[in-house]
Amino acid sequence: MARQRLKGSERTPLPGARAIGKADPNERMEVSVLLRHQAVDALHQRVAETASRAKPHLSREDFARQFGAAPADIAEVRKFADAHGLAIVEADASRRTIVLSGTVAQFNAAFGVELQQYEHPNGSYRGREGAIQLPEELEGIVEAVLGLDNRPQAMPHFRHQLPRGNVLRQPASAAPTAFTPPSLAALYDFPKGSIGKGECIGIIELGGGYRPADLATYFSALKIPMPTVTAVSVDHGRNHPTGDPNGPDGEVMLDVEVAGAVAPGARIAVYFTPNTDAGFLDAITTAIHDRVNKPSVISISWGGPESSWTPQAMQAMDQAFQAAAAMGITVCVASGDDGSSDGVGDGHDHVDFPASSPYALACGGTSLRASATGIASETVWNDGAQGGAGGGGVSTFFALPAWQGGLKVTKASGTTALAKRGVPDVSGDADPETGYDVRVDGSNTVIGGTSAVAPLWAGLIACINAAKGSAVGYINPLLYKNPQALHDIKAGNNGDYVAAAGWDACTGLGSPDGAKLLAAL
């Protein structure tokens, strides 16, 4: 049978990983197959028209009918699955996703791969090297095959405030402090009188869980009604608190508590999924196309350097965010906590994905100090070489969006024209030393990181949507036309990049002025 290489599917082992033998041929697994859009050129046109407000947002039903997977394409994949003894667990035309189930041996034969078991200091995983091979009849129909490799794909972007005894990350100028989310909402002048009533905030989680008792205690202490929180299972993921506040529970509770405290009238749907490329994408597409909960804004606080992703996975997720744009869904994504290197130790600058997608609202980090009358100072979050810093820089994968045309990027060595997608777009308080009061696994603690900024912005968008009576959706083009609606951050650096007047690769356009944003949007 003639086969074609699936473009962008090449995998290499994780740095430090060692192959220890073939994967068990009898191991059962599931794989997500992503199909092409119907009328993809028309979709790109519709997204542009929606972004410019020339046409209204599509409903989820209309999007599925016009741009979902074609029945004929689904039928071709069904024939392929039958030929290889693979079972179809799910076939969702709106998500363009078919989930296949079978053994390692069956998937090896079906996709021309040889799955191996790898040993790594952070845990073993099933993986492969090289490209996926497709039969000729699926060429052009299948755009991605995810889940053959089950390595952890992303990490959460949160950091705990360290005790004063640890001298590595203490600012010399000020003692640590903390804010409740409502106090930050007040400092950022979130729209008064709007609590996000009638909206739904979708939150993507790749592990951990929340305890309803903790949420009840937290919101009671804030004297805020506890929002309705619903757990949604994707790819067998579930709400599963580990009891470790330093693990993914910290991420989950931070996200829910920040979003819920600044938009307590909004419902919150938390999509739990395994930490793999397939799980991450499936959770995002499930949230975007969810006709039950219908989130109007999605918060994502997980990610990894662009260099850790396959091109097929990045393209698939970017397409999901395009679908969100067409349907009026805003996607807020943390830009990372490791400064201009994004934690990659090769001496080069890197940006975090999925924040680097042009259809994501990339959320960077600041360090904020308050006075009795408001914000006293706000600079780039950077704890120095031993701590964290807001992620930001220039994508090596995504082209320069039209709305970032003409911008400059500033380093200590000088200023040059921005040539590709610049990250972040916006920012907010992320410094753990000026962090967020939250409750995790039965204890009160202070957490920072850009993980807090994504749900902060998601809550703000929910409040703006409720105040307007309609979803603002894909707001990036409008924000760049209205920079006066943000607090421009002009001091600090995140490593190689330096803050400057206007947009910069540390804090984007700046932190929010909620009332001005409501007026501008």
Q: Which domains does the chain have, with CATH numbers?
A: 3-146 (no CATH), 155-164+172-520 (3.40.50.200)
In the block, residue with structure tokens 């804004």: 297
Check if the beta carbon of residue 281 is closer than 8 Å to that of residue 313: yes
Closest CA to 287 of 402, 400, 349, 206: 206
Q: Does the CA dihedral 335-339-343-345 come out positive or negative? A: positive
Q: Give the model confidence (pLDDT) of 178-234 as tens digits.
A: 999 999 999 999 999 899 999 999 999 999 999 999 999 999 999 999 999 999 999
CA dist., res. 450 & res. 436, Å (int): 11
Q: Does the CA dihedral 134-135-139-145 come out positive or negative? A: negative
2-13 CB burial, b ≥16 within 10 A, e <16 = eebebebbebeb
The length of the chain is: 521
pLDDT score, position 167? 36
pLDDT score, position 125? 97
pLDDT in tens, the chain (521 residues): 689 999 999 999 999 999 999 999 999 999 999 999 998 899 999 999 998 888 999 999 999 999 999 999 999 999 999 999 999 999 999 999 999 999 999 999 999 999 999 999 989 999 999 999 999 999 999 999 999 999 999 999 999 886 544 333 334 445 678 999 999 999 999 999 899 999 999 999 999 999 999 999 999 999 999 999 999 999 999 999 999 988 999 999 999 999 999 999 999 999 999 999 999 999 999 999 999 999 999 999 999 999 999 999 999 999 999 999 999 999 999 999 999 999 999 999 999 999 999 999 999 999 999 998 999 999 999 997 667 999 999 999 999 999 999 999 999 899 999 999 999 999 999 999 999 999 999 999 999 999 999 999 999 999 999 999 999 999 999 999 999 999 999 999 999 999 999 999 999 999 999 999 999 98
CA dist., res. 309 & res. 58, Å (int): 30
Other beta carbons within 10 angstroms of residue 371's beta carbon come to: 9
Identify residue 100 by its one-letter amino acid code.
L
CA dist., res. 398 & res. 213, Å (int): 43
pLDDT score, position 1? 64
Integer Rg of the chain from CA: 22
What tokens were used for 132? 């996926």
Q: How many helices (H) and strands (E) does the chain have?
A: 12, 30
CA dist., res. 471 & res. 469, Å (int): 7
Known catalytic residues? 251, 255, 451
pLDDT score, position 52? 87
Check if the beta carbon of residue 509 is closer than 8 Å to that of residue 480: yes
Model-wide pTM > 0.85: yes
pLDDT score, position 508? 98
pLDDT score, position 168? 36
